[in-house]
Amino acid sequence: MPASYFDVDGTLVRTNLVHPTLWYLVNQATPLKSLGKIARAALQAPAMALAEFRDRRTFNELLFSSYQGISRDRLLVLADECFESVIKPALWPHARALIERSRANGDVVLISGALDFLMDRLAAHLGATHVIANRLEIKDGYCTGRLLRPVVAGPEKARLIREHARAGGHDLNDCFAYSDSYSDVPMLSVVGHPAAVNPDARLRWLAEAYHWPVLSLDGGKEAPAIRA
Amino acid sequence: MTHPLVVTLDRKSAPRTIFSGDKLVEVDMPPGTRVIYPRKPLAGLADVDAAIRYALNHPYGSDPLHARLRPGMKVTIAIDDISLPLPPMKQPDVRERVLTIVLEQLADHGVEDVHLIIATSVHRRMTGDEIRWVVGDRIFNGYYPEKLYNHDAEDAENMVEIGTTDRGEIVEINRRAAESDLVIYVNLNLVPMDGGHKSVTVGLCGYKSLRAHHEPHTMRDCHSYMDPKTSALARSVDRMGKLLQEKIPVFTIETTVNNRMFDRPLEFLHKNEDDLTGTEKFALKALTATLARVPQAARQAIFQKVPSPYGVTGVFAGATEAVHEHTLAKCYEQYSVPVIGQADILVTGIPYISPYNVNSFLNPLLVQVMAQGYLFNLYRGVPLVKKGGTLIFTHPCTDMFDKEHHAPYIEFVHNLLPETRDAMELHRRFEAKFAKNPAYIQMYRTGHAYHPAHPFFMWYWGEAGRQWLGRVIVVGADNEYIPKLFGWETARTMQDALDLAKEGFVGTPEITMLHAPPILMADVTP
């Protein structure tokens, strides 16, 4: 049975890693704490912008350092609300249909730089079978601001997919992968059936050059209405 | 006696000008070559709207449409998609005229629950602009998109199984149509393989139903697609249609058009080259030279942006089978040319358009459909070419595809055909899995791509021709890869191709040229 590997941010949801992080920073125990966290994150913004352009992994590490000092309990207690208010409303209109069709073919794996406890909720909501996502390092019940290894980003996603496929007995030639971003070309390149979803300009160019399917889940103006 | 449209060339005959994709090429054919020309366009109806009203009020095998309506009923109108006619017709499209009058009658009888569905089956979804072109501004603005939309064969919740024939053919159609008190089908019948039970049974069905007949065994048993009496495909569709109509009331409206494919400036493309006036000869030379020099996109625009001035030749309404008899008679009246004797070598040009590339490029798989599928099948009786004979056609066979419309075709041609050309093997080993590819299905459902099963169907479409023909030789291919992949030989010129075809041939081969488009079909007696 083939597996289908889905990037999440931009591919299945219109949000990116920053949106849930901001939500957590805004929803701190006191407004003062929130202000402090946001101010610190703002100071890192130029470095993050540069990292986003050059190295996805560094961007993730900088972004998730904002979680330093937040308790594990708080993360998990607020996770349902964060999912309901940030991620679920941002799902592309046709994401569920694609996941359901992929599920009929075999395993569906969400592979994302987002945080695991949020991706677990998304997987349960969409019916995905596995999650490969970033995990925050927790010490004495509090986030250290670091990510556990391996950091899920860029080329590392390709290695993780290979590992997952080997463990699950999936032939990569039969597997599918979906992403919106040029930074995921390595992940798309390891499977037999890559597809670009709502792609950025560079990925669209590459997908067209290699005849990869380019599809849209955003329910554009000519997409059919979703019937109840 | 030879029909006047079957012309035998002599030493003084002018070169023939035939299509090679979106170019025209002059070819010198040897004396003795028979060239079959299309009939002149039949006269169009003087008052199309009156003919539509008359047909609705005097239907075949059914009460008039108005007598079948009652207030509060649920009606679905299904409409042929953009694959017909070719090229698209000048506005108003005859479907707009029929719909306007039908919708008036529905409104007059208090029928308000009306949906209009473009019966795309597994063809690509039409864009809003394309739908607007077919139905006109008034209907488009009044119904699109909530009550005027494309059929979606992969919307599982909105497909419903009606039953199974005694041959195991599953009849599954669009739920809205299945649950309607009346389905009205508005057809535009370009060729004899269109219309009849195919309209609802195929136009509104899904892959489950198509698998019953769009498969290589059935295709091999069609002699030809254009003659329903000898087509296993038509027989299968008829069985399914009869079952469907036991459960769902259908009122069929079929329309026929003449073969006026080219508007006045290009009308000479209909004619025997020896009968062209001086002005027409000059225009033909100028057009040929222009097309040879302008870029591909401009050539595509020259032909595809200019709609055809088809005249409406018939409007028939009522019970599907009774209506279709009249439609077929009108089609044959327009297209049929009697031909005596089969050829050893059949020569034709492949144009720039097929039912599956309206507003996009005729990719190599569709070239195959045109050559071994449609043009080979433009006959009744026996094929124009003898069993084991040679087909020579002109086309560049450019390895180019529309990346959206024909996305699944690309993988089919470049990944599957190199594995095997055998339609049976492709059907057995690859079709079911490929047809479920979620990415391609998503492109079909929310983009404008053909369904992933479609490239298989296109290959099967050439199956009868592939089984019958001994050799296929392409003149003017711009690459060797595609012809070789498809099992074709190549030649630089028509003379080279004829020399190749004559190799090992004892005596003088009978050479016949099919001078199409415009569309014609040969009634061949051996």
Residue A222 — pLDDT band, cuts 50, 70, 90? low
Inter-chain touch B446–A215, beta carbons under 8 Å? yes
Residue B349 — pLDDT band, cuts 50, 70, 90? very high
Any alpha helices (H) in B184-311, and if so which ranges?
198-203, 207-210, 216-220, 232-247, 278-293, 296-304
Q: Which amino acid is at B493?
A: T
Inter-chain touch A94–B403, beta carbons under 8 Å? no
Q: Are residues B335 and B206 in the same domain?
A: no
Q: Are residues B348 and B235 in the same domain?
A: no
The Cα B369–Cα B386 span in angstroms is: 20
Q: Is the pLDDT of residue B395 over 90?
A: yes
The Cα B148–Cα B141 span in angstroms is: 10
Candidates B236, B438, B261, B459; CA nearest to B356 is: B459
The Cα B346–Cα A155 span in angstroms is: 56
Å from B418 to nearest chain A CA? 16
Kindly state the average pLDDT of the residues B363-389: 97
Q: What are B26's strand-pairing partners?
A: B17
Q: Count the alpha carbons within 13 Å of B383 in the hemisphere toward its beta carbon.
A: 27
pLDDT in tens, A206-217: 999 999 999 999
- CB-based contact B346:B514 (threshold 8 Å): yes
- From B195, B223, B257, the end of a domain falls on B257
A interface residues, B as partner, C-beta within 8 Å: 4, 94, 97-98, 101-102, 104-105, 176, 178, 193, 195, 208, 211, 213-217, 219-225, 227
Nearest beta carbon to residue A94 from set B157, B411, B446: B446
* Residue B233, in any domain of the structure: yes
Q: Are residues B251 and B331 in the same domain?
A: no
Å from B75 to nearest chain A CA? 19
In chain B, residues 402-421 whose CB comes closer than 8 Å to chain A: 403-404, 407-408, 410-411, 414
Inter-chain touch B407–A214, beta carbons under 8 Å? yes
Q: Are residues B67 and B201 in the same domain?
A: yes
* Chain B residues close to A206, C-beta within 8 Å: none
DSSP characters over B476-518: S-S-SHHHHHHT-EEESSHHHHHHHHHTT--SPPPEEEE--SS
Q: Are residues B445 and B318 in the same domain?
A: yes
Q: Are residues B173 and B312 in the same domain?
A: no
* Chain A residues close to B129, C-beta within 8 Å: none
Residue B27 — pLDDT band, cuts 50, 70, 90? very high
DSSP characters over B348-372: EEB-S--TT-TTS---HHHHHIIII
pLDDT in tens, B63-84: 999 999 999 999 999 999 988 8
Q: Are residues B251 and B375 in the same domain?
A: no
Q: Is the pLDDT of residue B304 over 90?
A: no
Nearest beta carbon to residue A98 from set B128, B414, B438: B438
Inter-chain touch B438–A4, beta carbons under 8 Å? yes
Mean of all residue pLDDT scores within chain B = 96
Inter-chain touch A225–B152, beta carbons under 8 Å? no
Inter-chain touch A97–B445, beta carbons under 8 Å? yes
pTM of the model: 0.93
A&B contacts, CB < 8 Å? 73
Other CB atoms within a 10 A radius of the CB of residue B333 amount to 14
The Cα A102–Cα A3 span in angstroms is: 8
* Chain A residues close to B440, C-beta within 8 Å: 213
Q: What CATH code is carried by the domain that includes residue B189?
A: 3.40.50.11440
Q: Among the listed ranges B190-199, B212-221, B299-308, which one has the minimum average pLDDT value?
A: B299-308
- From B257, B273, B299, the end of a domain falls on B257
Q: Which amino acid is at A8?
A: V
Angle at B131 between CA B127 and CA B136, to 5 degrees: 145
* Chain A residues close to B445, C-beta within 8 Å: 94, 97, 224
* Residue B263, in any domain of the structure: no
pLDDT of residue A19: 85
Shortest CA distance from A96: residue in chain B: B442
Q: Are residues B13 and B91 in the same domain?
A: no
Query: Would you identify the CATH topology of the domain A3-215?
Result: Rossmann fold (3.40.50)
Q: Are residues B242 and B354 in the same domain?
A: no
* Residue B211, in any domain of the structure: yes
pLDDT of residue A226: 46
Which residues constitute the domain of residue B36?
Answer: 6-40+308-525
pLDDT in tens, A116-125: 999 999 999 9
Kindly state the average pLDDT of the residues A27-52: 77
pLDDT of residue A54: 73
The Cα B482–Cα B413 span in angstroms is: 9
Q: Is the pLDDT of residue A228 over 70?
A: no
Q: Which residue has the higher pLDDT, B199 or A40?
A: B199
**Any CB–CB contact under 8 A between B159 and chain A?**
no
Pairing between strand B336-340 and B343-349?
A: unpaired
Nearest beta carbon to residue A223 from set B403, B411, B446: B446
Q: What are B391's strand-pairing partners?
A: B346, B472
Q: Are residues B17 and B71 in the same domain?
A: no
Residue A4 — pLDDT band, cuts 50, 70, 90? very high
* Residue B485, in any domain of the structure: yes
Reported ipTM: 0.86
* Residue B262, in any domain of the structure: no
Inter-chain touch B442–A227, beta carbons under 8 Å? no
Q: Are residues B158 and B215 in the same domain?
A: yes
The Cα A138–Cα A147 span in angstroms is: 9
Q: Is the pLDDT of residue A227 over 60?
A: no
Q: What are A111's strand-pairing partners?
A: A132
Q: Side by side, which strands form the sheet with B34-36? A: B6-8, B34-36, B511-514, B343-349, B385-394, B471-475, B489-491
The Cα A174–Cα A159 span in angstroms is: 17
Q: Are residues B403 and B471 in the same domain?
A: yes
Q: What are B318's strand-pairing partners?
A: B60, B252
Inter-chain touch A222–B149, beta carbons under 8 Å? no
* Residue B13, in any domain of the structure: yes
- CB-based contact B29:B35 (threshold 8 Å): yes
pLDDT of residue B94: 97
Q: Is the pLDDT of residue A105 over 80?
A: yes
* Residue B122, in any domain of the structure: yes
* Chain A residues close to B128, C-beta within 8 Å: 221-222
- Number of domains forming the structure of chain B: 2
Q: What CATH code is carried by the domain that includes residue B425?
A: 3.90.226.30
* Residue B284, in any domain of the structure: no
Å from B439 to nearest chain A CA? 7
Shortest CA distance from B128: residue in chain A: A222
pLDDT of residue A221: 52
* Chain A residues close to B150, C-beta within 8 Å: 224
Q: What are A115's strand-pairing partners?
A: A134
